[in-house]
């Protein structure tokens, strides 16, 4: 199974930049999208259906904000919308599809960039998400969590760790959360296969950051330890230019 995770920063904008043709060429079995900023009724779903996808959408209640989606060529056994916590579900942050041998999630973590209140909201989300996953994996042990986590885990994951040491997305408590979450039974699939520096998934639109590769790796595919031997390849697909993010890829036998 080929899985792609992609924060499209507005799916309508991404479509205007060639997303449909890119998806056709990428030919993934499952595509997890974050920050769709749209409802399915605002789109021509035929474009995705013509590629063989069943599409599942979980937009935020606020128009043009947040939201996640999953496209899959294989019929899921079940689709779970949200996590049962209203303040996160209203923002369309978590969507899950269940298959026989694995469950795949598209998750959009809060960013914390718009002020202290949102940073506090982010910390609360991190805590609640850990608790949610701890309960979930008792019944769904084979989890593949795709998403924009909005955190760089280690210094290798950010272009300037010294200058950004006090910046949201690279704060010590955030980074410690990633460590703790991985230690609870998950694998950072990209780092499992690739330990090279200068591998990023997000670049500011300002200061020509992407051209200079001054980026952050904040998009992940996290895989349950139980699926470790099933993983075949992981990559960052930085040739895709439909967003300020780029997609991440996992190939796995499930």
Q: Are 112 and 11 in contact (CB under 8 A)?
A: no
Asked about 148 being catalytic, the answer comes back as yes
Give, in order, the Cα–Cα distances in Å from 232 to each of 112, 227, 228, 251.
34, 11, 9, 5
Selected catalytic residue, list 29, 148, 188, 244? 148
Q: Which residues of 145-164 are buried (b: 16+ CB within 10 A; e: fewer)?
A: bbbbbbbbbeeebbbeeeeb
Catalytic positions are 148
């Amino acid at each position: 199974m080929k899985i792609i995770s992609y924060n499209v920063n507005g799916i309508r904008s991404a479509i205007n930049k060639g997303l449909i043709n890119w998806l056709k060429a990428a030919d993934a079995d499952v595509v997890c999208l974050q920050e769709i900023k749209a409802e399915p009724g605002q789109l021509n779903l035929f474009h995705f259906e013509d590629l063989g996808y069943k599409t599942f959408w979980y937009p935020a209640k606020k128009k043009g904000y947040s939201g996640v989606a999953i496209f899959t060529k294989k019929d899921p056994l079940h689709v779970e919308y949200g996590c049962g916590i209203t303040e996160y579900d209203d923002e369309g942050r978590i969507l899950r599809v269940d298959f026989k041998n694995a469950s795949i999630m598209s998750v959009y973590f809060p960013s914390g960039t718009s002020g202290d209140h949102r940073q506090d909201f982010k910390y609360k989300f991190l805590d609640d998400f850990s608790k949610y996953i701890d309960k979930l994996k008792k019944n769904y042990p084979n989890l593949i969590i795709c998403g924009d986590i909005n955190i760089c885990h280690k210094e290798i994951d950010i272009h300037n760790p010294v200058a950004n040491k006090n910046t949201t997305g690279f704060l010590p408590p955030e980074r410690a959360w990633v460590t703790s979450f991985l230690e609870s039974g998950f694998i950072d699939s990209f780092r499992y296969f690739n330990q090279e520096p200068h591998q990023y998934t997000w670049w500011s639109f300002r200061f020509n950051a992407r051209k200079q590769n001054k980026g952050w790796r904040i998009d992940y595919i996290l895989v349950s330890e139980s699926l470790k031997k099933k993983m075949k390849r992981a990559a960052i697909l930085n040739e895709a230019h439909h967003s300020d993010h780029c997609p991440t890829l996992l190939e796995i036998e499930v």
